[in-house]
Structure 1
Amino acid sequence: MTGKTSRGRVFWRNAILVLLLALIGVAVWSWRDFSRFGNTPLHVSAQGESIDIGRGSSFKEIVRQLRSQQLSGASPLYWRLLAMQMRAAGKLHAGEYATPVGITPRQLLANMAAGKVLQRNFTIVDGWTFRDVLAALAKAEKLKHDTAGLDDAAIMQKIGATGEQPEGRFLPESYAYVKGDSDLDILKRAHVAMAKMLDQLWPGRDKDLPLATPYDALILASIVEKETGRADERAKIAGVFVRRLEDHMLLQTDPTVIYGMGDSYQGKIHKVDLTTDTPYNTYTRPGLPPTPIAMPGKPAIMAALHPEPGTALYFVARGDGTHVFADTLDQQSRNVACYQLKHCGND
């Protein structure tokens, strides 16, 4: 009996040992598999994907959404354990989160716990008109389009600028936004940014400019913006317009005529257009037009406030993006013949 009892004890001891080793092996494997899960990139098929977590979503619903978007096939238990390990359980914020190629479950949960929602950028381009801005806003993804159906006056009222004309009032810059933001939010921020910049730059303007108000500077800057995109020419062109204003000469700038033509402009300006009077036709009306004709960037505003001194009163496009300047009408006529009519020299 003693021998059998001893052998039985050895058997059970060995069986328990094997079972313990097996359990340890399973635990080690499970831990390694869990650790691998947390640091293995999600199944992102293309750049630019995101996951949108609705307000009030439970953790179970979040994991279900991850699985339904095929970002992860891992067990919900793994997600729960990872959230507990990171002390993120119950702290995940609603919102839209980026899932770029290479992001891991650990990184995604960290972003959700920190509320690092996906930000997009809307850029107002130097030289855009207000119509251009509205058209671009209408195409912006994940942005509420609250300006739809509103006229210019209503839009300006909504952003707290009642009575202002919108043209030129919005600073060309990139503005970050998140899902659920309104196009009115972006317009308000851009409007405040432009007003702030003008307030900062106006006091440091050159002395004796023929500009009575910051709004006059904005109008002139918008003309400079539409006349040239070259940094080395902005102040020169601003100088020409400033001298023409000082000498009570007509500005005679095509971009203002084009702006005044509105929808009738089809890509070309004709002689009849230069003689057809509108509030923006600087060939028929003296001084600055009544409003800006585009959104000027800071460089154009700086040029308007600090024009380059000189004697030139005219300029004409060379056709390569640059301009040639002239002091007299005779010089200008020769330059026009050469660079626009292609009759240079004795030809």
Structure 2
Amino acid sequence: MKMRLLSMVLAVVFLFTGCFNYRDINRVMFDLAVLIDIDENDNVVLYTETFKPFKGTAQGAEQGVRLINKIEGKTIFEAIRNLSLASGYKHNYTQNKALIFSERAARKGLKPVLDFIDRDQEFLIRPFVFVYLGDLQDLFKLQPKDEEYLGIYVDTLINTIGDASRAVIVNVNEFLNSRYLKSNTQVIPALRIKRDSLMDKIELDGGAVIQHDKMTDYIPRQQTQSYNFLRDRVKRGTLEVTNPDSPQGYITLEILGSKTKTKIKYDGKKIILIKIINVKTSLAESQYMFNMCEENISKLERSAEENIKKYTSQLFDEYSLKEIDIFEIGEELHRYYPKFNIDNPITITQLEVKAYVNIEGSSNKTDFY
């Protein structure tokens, strides 16, 4: 028994000797944002926002400095290796918060860079992915007052708005997986700098339509709620409807929850795409006087339902004419009718929207003034 115990102690002493491949944190640079552009000669231009830690003089506290790197290469892999040649420390991408493509790179085509992002083990699939509408260098010139680091800022921006109905939210994992859908079409969030007399700010502004790894269109922010309703991506948000007692004003309904069910029918010639949208709301705000009687509540519900039907149908008709399947009709058709293979099913698809809005009691008030 003693010999067995002694053997176990010796095994622990000699086998568990410490961390494997240990690297001092002061010898590593953590990249918090990776930005990819493609220049006129089709070379990859890589920007990284880096946090470089160092030991401070006050009580041995760890501190850090923000560094911006720019490097070019014929491929993204070469650019990353060239970046290492110009740095005294190893770059580490495990803390990356955002993957941002320039609009120029997205419109030229992202296929040359996506294989490395999908294949490399150090690139994470959790970060959010964006297309920036403008010159990437402007993002670094703009310094947000509430956050020093761009990567952390856009990550916090997404997490703060949560499930806002007018925001498109996609991470790298979702983006890469959607490339294998039949339509190979994705909508990813777009970033833009909002120029303001008080303070310029980075904001989410609609969605970039990526078809076959190339940006082919842009959905403005005013239409992204309709897109999210059709894709069952609305959890929270607002609906604005006309005040039945004061037509010059609006009533704001807060979305407490939403669920979109999809059904599809195909008769060999035409596809009927049925979207059943159930929305639970509460009355959040009223412009001018509003009497909260059952009749007015019913009017608000019907008005909100008609708005959902109207704007979702307008968005669908627009992309049906453009023959761009941003609604994954091909995938739905394959689930219901796996024997049929239609190249671009949106061209023969008719949308049928059934919207149901329920307003719950928001307070003990019976009138709003």
TM range (shorter): under 0.3
TM score, norm. by length of structure 1: 0.26
Structure with the bigger percentage of helix: 1
TM score, norm. by length of structure 2: 0.25
* Larger of the two Rg values belongs to structure: 1
Compare relative contact order (CA 8 Å, sep 6+) and give the higher one, 1 or 2: 1
